[in-house]
Amino acid sequence: MNTELAFIHRRWVIHQAILVLAGIPLLFLSSVPGVIYPGLLLGHLFILIARSGRNQWATPGRCMANGTTLARGVLCFIPVSTLCPISLTNVGWLFLTAALMDGLDGWLARRFQGQSPLGMVLDEEVDALFVLLMTIFIWQAGLAGPWIMAAGWIRPVVQLMKTYWPSSKTAPSRTYPWARMLAGAVFILFPAGILLEAWTGPVLIYIACSLVLFSFTLELIKYYGR
């Protein structure tokens, strides 16, 4: 990642974390339309894209890959928007489609030489938004209590901890293979839990939430213990 984009992303992540946590009361205020909170988060994602510069979209490959990632973020936004009420089954398929698209953007980037610094950043942030929006919908649909949203809120908490209480060790951070595998499992389990809500859905939702919390707990242990 180039230095300028890395700086922009670092500041953006802090602002996004604050926005996610500070906006939580909006979800519990009946006088505030349900679309406001997720709309603010999605809008903030567009700010990151706008600030990244045109060169991040300079080739057809980059446009296809980054556009697919962005489409995934918008797709996740639709179910939690009160402007687009749809059935529970359709929501499950919508989230499952978004989960499967997680691998499509990477394939497009490799196939059409569309790799870009923004692509890596955007994929990571849309993944986080995906989990948060799914947990919001699961709570709003009555499939689980508000505690389920802890799976979406833990990442901004971890980001703020790393920013304001950095590790005393200077070893570079690493991306562990198990983290990607856990993320893939979570992306499938949450939509499956929605689709199977009258059968094993709650169990799958609890497992997905537990995997998210376990993943970030392990990340913190490795970060501060390295």
Strand, helix or coil for residue 226: coil
Distance CA 143, CA 224 (A): 35
Distance CA 56, CA 50 (A): 10
User: What does the pLDDT read at residue 169?
Assistant: 67
**Using an 8 Å Cβ cutoff, are 26 and 12 in contact?**
no
User: What does the pLDDT read at residue 224?
Assistant: 85
Strand, helix or coil for residue 212: helix
Can you give the CATH number for the domain in which 21 is found?
1.20.120
User: What does the pLDDT read at residue 1?
Assistant: 59
User: What does the pLDDT read at residue 114?
Assistant: 85
pLDDT digits (tens, 9 = 90+) for 85-124: 788 899 999 999 999 998 899 899 999 988 888 898 999 9
User: What does the pLDDT read at residue 174?
Assistant: 59
User: What does the pLDDT read at residue 170?
Assistant: 56
User: What does the pLDDT read at residue 33?
Assistant: 83
Range of the structural domain that residue 136 is part of: 3-225
The DSSP code sequence of 88-115 is: HHHHHHHHHHHHHHHHHHHHHHHHTT--
Cite the DSSP H helix spans in 81-200. 88-111, 117-140, 150-164, 177-195
Which residues in the chain land under pLDDT 50?
Answer: none
User: What does the pLDDT read at residue 175?
Assistant: 62
User: What does the pLDDT read at residue 226?
Assistant: 61
Query: What residue has token string 């500041």?
Result: 11
User: What does the pLDDT read at residue 20?
Assistant: 94
Total count of domains within the chain:
1
| pTM, to two decimals | 0.91
User: What does the pLDDT read at residue 97?
Assistant: 94
